Amino acid sequence: MSRILVVDDDDQLRRALRINLAARHYEVLTAADATTALTVAGHTPPDLAVVDLGLPDLDGVEVVRGLRGWTSIPIIVLSARDAQATKVEALDAGADDYVTKPFGMDELLARIRAALRRAAPEPGAAIVQTPDFTIDLAAKRLTTATGDVRLTPTEWHMLEVLARHPDKLVAQKQLLREVWGPAYENETNYLRVHLANLRRKIEPDPARPRYLITEPGIGYRFTP
């Protein structure tokens, strides 16, 4: 189930979007202003955001920039502003699509589906094979020779972020932002605890890790 954040100060429109998205089995988060939107996204990271530009506290472009600063999720701007310069500004800030109000609900839903499809991993790139286990990123499964390994959602998300960047250093703050959100980017103790649990589940010798490598004080690296 994809999680969608709807940011709009129009109560009626926000309610209509929530109802239509929930009816199509999306999990829906809502916010009526920019500050709430960034706080909600930080604590419960969405898979896609729909953002109005005319917000009461900050311009919606600032929400786009704020989200793009720590996540690569699709962002669809929904606005009554139809000037080309405004569209260019929103797209340059990091938006993926721009829908002008008034709009057709079916069209918006189609654009959301398309954006989520584009954000999904390619089938061929979704399998990570190592000598000791296989990670199926699309199916969210970790398998060894003896069967599936049960991971908590947090453990899976950590492994997923690292596995999508094989042999590349992922900074501590980046990992914290992607797994927990920007509000937690200084909670490095979270990483130590959950990574230790993850190593116990997947490393042949957790005391001498082969796959989840720590770069002290900097970050972590997954070496398949």
Same domain, yes or no: 113 and 136: no
Count CA atoms within 13 Å of residue 157 on its CB side: 17
Same domain, yes or no: 178 and 148: yes
Q: How far apart are the first and last CA of the chain?
A: 28
Q: Mean pLDDT, to the nearest integer, of 107-119?
A: 90
Give the count of domains, the chain: 2
Same domain, yes or no: 147 and 187: yes
Nearest to 86 by CA among 74, 100, 103, 67: 100
16-72 pLDDT, tens digit each: 999 999 999 999 999 999 999 999 998 888 999 999 999 999 999 999 999 988 888
Same domain, yes or no: 171 and 77: no
Same domain, yes or no: 129 and 104: no
Q: Which domain holds residue 134?
A: 123-222
Assess whether pLDDT exceeds 70 at residue 123: no
Same domain, yes or no: 174 and 131: yes
74-112 pLDDT, tens digit each: 999 999 998 999 999 999 999 999 999 999 999 999 999
Same domain, yes or no: 88 and 133: no
159-189 pLDDT, tens digit each: 998 998 888 898 998 898 888 877 777 888 8
**Pick from 99, 119, 139: which residue ends a domain?**
119
Same domain, yes or no: 157 and 214: yes
Strand-pairing partners, residue 213, are 221
What does the block give as tokens for 49? 């955001």
- List all residues 6 or more positions away from 22 whose beta carbon is below 8 Å from its beta carbon: 28
pLDDT at 139: 80
**Pick from 62, 92, 119: which residue ends a domain?**
119
Report the CATH number that the domain containing residue 158 is assigned in CATH: 1.10.10.10
Same domain, yes or no: 127 and 208: yes
Assess whether pLDDT exceeds 70 at residue 122: no
Assess whether pLDDT exceeds 80 at residue 125: no
- pLDDT greater at residue 212 or residue 190: 212
pLDDT at 124: 52
How far is the C-alpha of 205 from the C-alpha of 187, rounded, in Å? 26
At 154, phi and psi to the nearest 5?
-70, -45
Same domain, yes or no: 90 and 178: no
How far is the C-alpha of 188 from the C-alpha of 100, rounded, in Å? 42
62-to-37, 57, 115, 154 alpha-carbon distances in Å = 11, 10, 21, 29
pTM summary value: 0.65
**Pick from 64, 95, 119: which residue ends a domain?**
119
